[in-house]
Amino acid sequence: MIASVYYHGNELVCALYDPCLQLIEKMTTECPNDSLLSPEDLVERTFSTLERALTLKGKSWSDLRGVNFGDRRLINVEEGAVVSSLNEKWSKNFPLREMLKSRLGGNIEVSIGNAVHLLAISERRNNAALRENSVLICAENPLASAAVIQNGRVVAGNHHVIGVLSAIPIVQGEDEPLTAGKNKKSLGNLVSVENLSRYIVTHHSGDISLLVSAAKKGNLTLKAIFEGARKKDPVALSALNFAIKWFTIAIHYFVYTLDPNLIMISGEYLEAPEYFFRELKESVKRFGMQTVQFSPEIIPGSMGVEEGAIYGGACVMLEHLFRQEELYR
């Protein structure tokens, strides 16, 4: 068997697969908030979750050939190290792969990867249009990460860092290093429900609207904004137009550097209404591209980050194992 593990927020998700990528077991463990979780605690929780899943299926550690660990942090895949983390308990270039490999046992292969990269691998398997020259943008507060797909492969950034485009900057000063989630002017923060709430209260505070009331109380959700936009609520449409503005600027970064055929939007905007994707495409056309006839297709993704990261991690590990000659001995 192989295992794929994904950590996000307050949960650690573990899935066991057979060599044909058929799901055998899936288990979720609650964890402390990311800002409180130490790397040692994360490794220990990964071990105990895998052990419970194996025991539940009547299996042992000897049945497990490999584990992929997916995370939203910046990951150096070649070195198996976490390059950047929101948590100060994590040192720079933390050797997560080696720590996991030591805890799980030397006979189990271990790899780690950025969750958005793994999501792109899953989406690429399901969508032929995504396999050529495309960009997947995943916006989840406070992060907005991107994966680039060229000639059928999800490509890495400099020095094999997957997730190097994490926290896509909108305004990046010379003294502001590109680190995951710390730049408040990143796309993830600008299009988050918190920022849209502030926008609604600032620009629509006088409106008698359930959305305005929810924004003032601090319990507004993106789902409510999306539903309002489908009903053509002016406050909801205004909030979405605000988000479209920042997505447009971010997309132009890729349009002018990569010339993609397709832009896929995932994360919290996966369930955005048709209006969002239609207007976003028109906005991208208008924004400094009046003389350009071609504009990339912009579509929603087909799966959430958790589902995509888990399945993509299993794909990565299976491919890694089948490249090893000893698998056939």
Q: What is the pLDDT of residues 244-294, one digit of tens each?
A: 999 998 888 888 878 888 999 999 999 999 999 999 999 988 876 555 566
User: For the whole model, what pTM was predicted?
Assistant: 0.86
- DSSP category for residue 169: B
Non-local (6+) Cβ contacts of 70 within 8 A are 4, 5, 6, 7, 112, 113, 114, 115, 118, 309, 310, 312, 313
Q: What average pLDDT is seen over the chain?
A: 84
Q: What's the rounded Cα separation, in Å, for the pair 120 and 149? A: 8
- Phi, psi torsion values for 27, nearest 5 degrees: -140, 140
Q: What's the rounded Cα separation, in Å, for the pair 2 and 23? A: 10
What are the structural domains of the chain?
Answer: 2-118+306-328 (3.30.420.40), 128-301 (3.30.420.40)
- DSSP category for residue 233: -
Lowest average pLDDT, out of 97-106, 142-151, 255-264, 311-320, goes to 142-151
Best-predicted range by mean pLDDT among 89-93, 106-110, 160-164?
Answer: 106-110
Q: What is the pLDDT of residues 13-44, one digit of tens each?
A: 999 999 899 999 999 999 887 777 888 889 99
Q: Are 137 and 263 in contact (CB under 8 A)?
A: yes
Lowest average pLDDT, out of 89-103, 125-139, 180-194, 264-278, goes to 180-194
Paired with 81 in beta bridges are 76
Q: If you count them, how many residues does the chain have? A: 329
